[in-house]
Amino acid sequence: MELSITLIIIIITGIVSFIAFSNHNLLEQFIFYPPAVRRGQFYRFFSCGLIHADWGHLIFNMLALYMFGGIVELRFAEVFGAPGKLIYLAMYVLALAVSVIPTYINNKDNYHYRSLGASGAVSAVIFAGILFHPLVGVGLFFIPVYLAGFLFGIIYLVVSGWLDKKGGGNINHSAHIFGALFGIGFTIIACRIFSDYPVLQEFIDQIKNMSAGDIIQTRGS
C-alpha cells in the first residue's frame, strides 16, 4: 500500500524528533537559531520542523497534521491532478521556512533565542484545509463542540496575534500566524497557476450559503 505524503512526513518527523529527545548534539544542529542562520546555516529554516520540545509537542502537531493533512492532500490531488501531491509537499516544506522568516528578522542578533517544531507548516496545512472547506468543524482536542473552520481560523489568528504582541512564554505564535497566512496564499496562487479551480470564490459561496447549524457543531453532527 502506498503511503501518503502526510504519513511520510509524520513518520520522518516522529523518528527524527524521537532521536533528538536523547541526542543533544542533533537537537542543537537542527534547532532554529537565528545567529547560526546568519552565519549561513540556512538549512535550519527547514530542519527545525523535524524536531520538537517533548512528546506532547510532537503528538499535538502530528495529530493535527494527520487530521487535516489527509484531507488537504486529497483535495490537492483532485484540484491539481498528478502534480497535486508534489504541490502539497512543496507547500509544507516552504511553510517551514516562510513561517520563521519574521522570527529570524526579529531575532537575528538574539543569541538566547531558539525555536523548534513543525507548527508553522502544520498551520499552513490546516488553513489550506479551511480555505477548501470553510464550514468543516474545527475545535480543541477532547472538547466536543466545534466552530465552523473559517470562524475558528479568524479567532485563532486574532488570539495568536495578541499573544505574539504580549510576548513571553515558549510558543512561537508568529510562526503559527505566518504559516497560516502562507497556507492560504500558497493555495490561492497554486489554484491560479496550476488549475482553473476558483478556490476563493468557492470559499465565499460556501459561507454565503451556510446555515445557523454550520457555525457551531457538536461531535457526531
Sign of the CA dihedral 31, 36, 38, 40? negative
Kindly list the structural domains of the chain, giving each domain's residue range(s) and its CATH number in brackets, ordered by start.
5-218 (1.20.1540.10)
Give the model's pLDDT for residue 82: 93
pLDDT at 138: 81
Q: What is the mean pLDDT of residues 177-199?
A: 97
Report pLDDT for 168: 63
Query: Residue 199 and residue 187: Cα distance in Å, rounded?
Result: 8
Predicted local distance difference test score (pLDDT) of residue 95: 98
Instruction: Identify the DSSP state of 49.
Output: G
Q: Taking residues 18-42, what's their average pLDDT?
A: 96
How do residues 43-68 score in pLDDT, each as one tens digit? Answer: 999 999 999 999 999 999 999 999 99
Q: What are the cell numbers at 8?
A: 511520510
C-alpha to C-alpha distance for 34 and 101, rounded to whole angstroms: 10
Q: What is the DSSP string of 156-182?
A: HHHHHHHHHHH--SS--HHHHHHHHHH
Q: For 52, phi and psi rounded to 5 degrees?
A: -140, 160
pLDDT per position as a tens digit, 74-127: 999 999 999 999 999 999 999 999 999 999 999 999 999 999 999 999 999 999
Report how far Cα 69 is from the mean position of its chain's Cα atoms: 9
pLDDT at 100: 96
Bridge partners for 217 per DSSP:
146
32 closest CA partner among 98, 91, 127, 89: 98
pLDDT, tens digit (0-9, with 9 covering 90-100), for 126-152:
999 999 999 988 876 666 677 889 999
Residue 221 has pLDDT above 50, yes or no: no
**φ and ψ of 197, to 5 deg:** -75, 120
Q: How far is CA 201 from the centre of its chain?
A: 23
CA distance 195 to 178: 25
% of the chain beyond a pLDDT of 70: 95
Q: What is the pLDDT of residue 139?
A: 73
- Give the pLDDT score at 2: 77
188 or 136: whose pLDDT is higher? 188
CA–CA dist 102, 34 (Å, integer): 11
Residue with cell 536523547: 22
Lowest average pLDDT, out of 72-76, 127-131, 165-169, 171-175, goes to 165-169
Contact 191, 91 (CB under 8 A): no
For residue 98, the SS3 value is: helix
Cell of 112: 538566547
Check if the beta carbon of residue 103 is closer than 8 Å to that of residue 175: yes
Tell me: pLDDT of 42 over 70: yes
The partner residues of 128 in beta bridges, in order of sequence, read none
pLDDT at 142: 63
